C-alpha cells in the first residue's frame, strides 16, 4: 500500500513544475524521475528480498531458539522444583520416621530401665531384709549374752560389795539366787 502511495506521489509531483529543479537540483528535475524511480524500486526490492529471505529468518530462528531454550529451561526448572519438593517430602518423612523411632527407642529403654531398677530394688530390699534379720539375731544374741554377762558381773559386784561391807565373804549360791530372782522380776521391763 505504501508502495502504491509512493508511486502515486511521484506521478503527481512530475506534473508540477518544481522551482528547485531549475536551481540545479537534479533529483527534483522530472526528466530524471523515471531513472530514480527505477533505482528506488530496484534497491528497495533487493533490500526487501534480502531482509525477508536472509536476515528475518535468521532473526526469527534466533528468537525461536531463544524461546525454545527458555521453555526448556522453565520445564527443566519445573522438573527440578518437583524433584526438590519430592526429595523434601521424603526428607520430612524420614525425619518423622526417625523421630518416631527415637520415641520408640526411648520408650523401650525407659521400660527396660524401669524393669532393671525394679529388679535391683527388689534385690536390695531382700538384702536389706536379710541384713535386718541378721542384725535382729545379733541383737537378740547380744541381749542374751548381756543378760548372762550382767548376771555374772552383778554376782561379782554384789559379792565384793557385801564382803567389803560385812568384812566376810558371802556364799556364792545365795548371791546367785538373789540376783536371779531380781533379774526375773525386772527382766520383763527391758526385754
**191 residues of the chain, pLDDT tens digit each:** 777 777 777 766 665 555 555 556 777 777 888 888 899 999 999 999 999 999 999 999 999 999 999 999 999 999 999 999 999 999 999 999 999 999 999 999 999 999 999 999 999 999 999 999 988 888 888 877 776 777 777 777 777 777 777 777 767 777 777 777 777 776 666 55
Q: Is the pTM of this model over 0.75?
A: no
* CB-based burial label for 154 (10 Å; 0-12, 13-18, 19+): middle
Q: Hey, is 24 helix, strand or coil?
A: coil
**Calpha distance 116→118 (Å, rounded):** 5
- DSSP 8-state class, residue 27: G
- DSSP 8-state class, residue 54: I
pLDDT of residue 109: 92
pLDDT of residue 8: 73
End-to-end CA distance of the chain: give it in Å, rounded.
140
Q: What is the CA radius of gyration of the chain?
A: 66
Q: For the CA atoms of 15, 20, 26, 30, what is the dihedral angle to 10 degrees?
A: 0
Predicted confidence (pLDDT) per residue in 47-71, tens digit? 999 999 999 999 999 999 999 999 9
Residue ranges per domain, the chain? 2-86, 150-190
Predicted confidence (pLDDT) per residue in 7-33, tens digit? 777 766 665 555 555 556 777 777 888
Per-residue cell: 137:
539375731
Amino acid at each position: 500500500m505504501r508502495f502504491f502511495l509512493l508511486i502515486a506521489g511521484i506521478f503527481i509531483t512530475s506534473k508540477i513544475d518544481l522551482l528547485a529543479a531549475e536551481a540545479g537540483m537534479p533529483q527534483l528535475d522530472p526528466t530524471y524521475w523515471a531513472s530514480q524511480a527505477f533505482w528506488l524500486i530496484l534497491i528497495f526490492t533487493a533490500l526487501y528480498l534480502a531482509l525477508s529471505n536472509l536476515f528475518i529468518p535468521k532473526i526469527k530462528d534466533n528468537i525461536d531458539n531463544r524461546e525454545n531454550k527458555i521453555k526448556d529451561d522453565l520445564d527443566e526448572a519445573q522438573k527440578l522444583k518437583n524433584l526438590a519438593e519430592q526429595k523434601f517430602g521424603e526428607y520430612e518423612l524420614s525425619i518423622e520416621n526417625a523421630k518416631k523411632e527415637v520415641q520408640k527407642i526411648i520408650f523401650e529403654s525407659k521400660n527396660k530401665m524401669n524393669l532393671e531398677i525394679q529388679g535391683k530394688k527388689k534385690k536390695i530390699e531382700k538384702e536389706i531384709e536379710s541384713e535386718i534379720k541378721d542384725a535382729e539375731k545379733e541383737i537378740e544374741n547380744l541381749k542374751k549374752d548381756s543378760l548372762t554377762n550382767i548376771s555374772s558381773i552383778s554376782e561379782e559386784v554384789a559379792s565384793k560389795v557385801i564382803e567389803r561391807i560385812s568384812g566376810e565373804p558371802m556364799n556364792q549360791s545365795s548371791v546367785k539366787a538373789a540376783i536371779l530372782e531380781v533379774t526375773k522380776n525386772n527382766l520383763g521391763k527391758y526385754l
